[in-house]
Amino acid sequence: MKRIALLLAIVTLLPPARLFALSTGPQNCVPTPVSLGVISKFHAHLARDAHLGWVRIDFRWREINPSPNFWDFAAMDNVVNAARSRGLNILGILSTAPQWAGGGPHGNTPPANTSYWQEFVRRVAQRYDGDVVAYEVWNEPNLQNQGEGIGWDRPISQSPRYVDYLRIAAQQIRAQAPGTLVVGPVVSSEPDSRTSQILRQIESTGSSQYLDVLSFHANGNNRSVSQITSWINGHLSKIVADNPTNRYKPIWITEMGWDSGSIGEAAQRSRTEQIVRSMRGDPGFAPFGGFPICGGWSEWNITHAFLFTILDGQGETAGIYRANETPKQIVTSYLTSKPFPAVDRDPSQNVPFGVSCPSRTCTFSSTPGVILPSLWDFGDGTGTTTSGHQVSHTFPRAGWFFVKHIQATGGSIQLVDVP
């Protein structure tokens, strides 16, 4: 009880303005609920049946812009409409350059003429403004000589660099679809020296400002949980060492999963759940059930995880559905146990909050009857404390904001759409 009283005393002394935005540090670490999604350009109905609220969709440059000055959005319109009609949020990944622009046979050579890239991003962002929540920039740029649409087939230091593509994409997305999140650097599961090079370039060129969310992959395939844990720790360590400016931004793991053909469907389900629970800071809670102890992954805002992939096929067994569209155990005994949209949270530690945003002034409601002080971080650089049930806040612009709520009984973070 003495510890609770001390924490509450500290809470009441915190200043009301710029309280502790998500970029300020581990004093606001709480067990963070993890929103679950899946990689799926098609089969939106299966994602919705699995209670998943997010889909990651490839926006392949070479398919949309197959020849100079020719643009074909018909197929992408159908994909986007299918997802949105089922209430799914979309993370789009912008990659795979056309061969005519210099993208090479696999689309993983970034064209030297960046005006081609600028026009592609401009058209996509403008067309899907309001339909796509976030865009990832490129796909696994730390790799080379990979398959279709994977990697950055030139030296990291050679111009135009990944940071140049990131800057151009962010500028176009923010101009054409204000409030849409920019996500990167989308590096592969195993951190390497090129991962460090990319992060250092983001830091040294002042390009941290162009990222709203950091992302990397954590594909298990047939590897152990401890191996994937070590890779995730490696990514987090590289962020601290090479891109500290972005240390406290939200993190999305935009590919993760295991091959059920190698480890079995039961292990696919259990390993996925174990990693996701670790992401949300399951270990390290305070023993009295109050504020969490900062440590391990609870110090990071890992808020989203995208499963790889929706459906088995052509030798692929990492799907959450079999090739005949019947669900695996990961769906039947894990995902569908959660209400739509699926979020992995600890109900005893995380305190969800209600949101009403009829305009840029939003009302947030904490658990009724709670008299302990609440700390609110609105994700726009401001925050406040209140001992009441509700708090209102006017945001500076429309868009998506990571709003965090902390009480002595726990905390929660949500991605809020401000109209």
DSSP three-state, residue 34: strand
Residue 381 corresponds to which tokens in the numbers above?
């650089």
Q: Which of 158, 160, 165 is nearest to 112 (CA)?
A: 160
CA 408 to CA 7: how far, in whole Å? Answer: 8
Instruction: Give the domains, in start order, of the chain with CATH numbers.
Output: 1-30+350-419 (2.60.40.10), 33-344 (3.20.20.80)
Strands ordered across the beta sheet of 390-394: 354-356, 361-365, 390-394
Q: What single-letter DSSP state applies at residue 100?
A: G
Output the six-digit token pair for 279: 């992401």
Q: Residue 273: count other Cβ atoms within 10 Å of its Cβ.
A: 15
The Cα 293–Cα 207 span in angstroms is 32
Q: Helices H, strands E: what count in the chain?
A: 11, 16
Rounded Cα distance between 393 and 98, Å, is: 45
Tens of each residue's pLDDT in the chain, 419 residues: 333 333 333 233 333 333 333 444 444 556 678 999 999 999 999 999 999 999 999 999 999 999 999 999 999 999 999 999 999 999 999 999 999 999 999 999 999 999 999 999 999 999 999 999 999 999 999 999 898 999 999 999 999 999 999 999 999 999 999 999 999 999 999 999 999 999 999 999 999 999 999 999 999 999 999 999 999 999 999 999 999 999 989 999 999 999 999 999 999 999 999 999 989 877 544 433 344 456 678 778 899 999 999 999 988 999 999 999 999 999 999 999 999 999 998 776 666 789 999 999 999 988 665 556 778 889 988 988 887 788 999 999 999 999 988 876 667 888 999 99
Question: Which residues, 6 or more positions from 380, have their beta carbon under 8 angstroms from its beta carbon?
Answer: 21, 395, 396, 401
DSSP for residue 311: B
Instruction: Report the b/e string of 306-338 with b at 16+ CB within 10 A.
Output: bbbbbbbeeeebbbbbeeeeebbbbbeebbbeb
Nearest to 59 by CA among 121, 151, 142: 121
Supply the pLDDT for residue 345: 86
User: What is the crossing angle of helices 225-242 and 193-204, to 10°?
Assistant: 30
Q: Is 383 exposed, middle or buried (0-12, 13-18, 19+ CB in 10 A)?
A: buried
Q: What are the residues facing 304 on neighbouring strands?
A: 35, 252
Preceding amide of 185 cis, omega within 30: yes
Predicted pLDDT at 346: 75
Is beta strand 361-365 parallel, antiparallel or unpaired with respect to 390-394?
antiparallel
What is the DSSP pairing of strand 410-418 with strand 399-407?
A: antiparallel
Q: Whole-model pTM?
A: 0.90
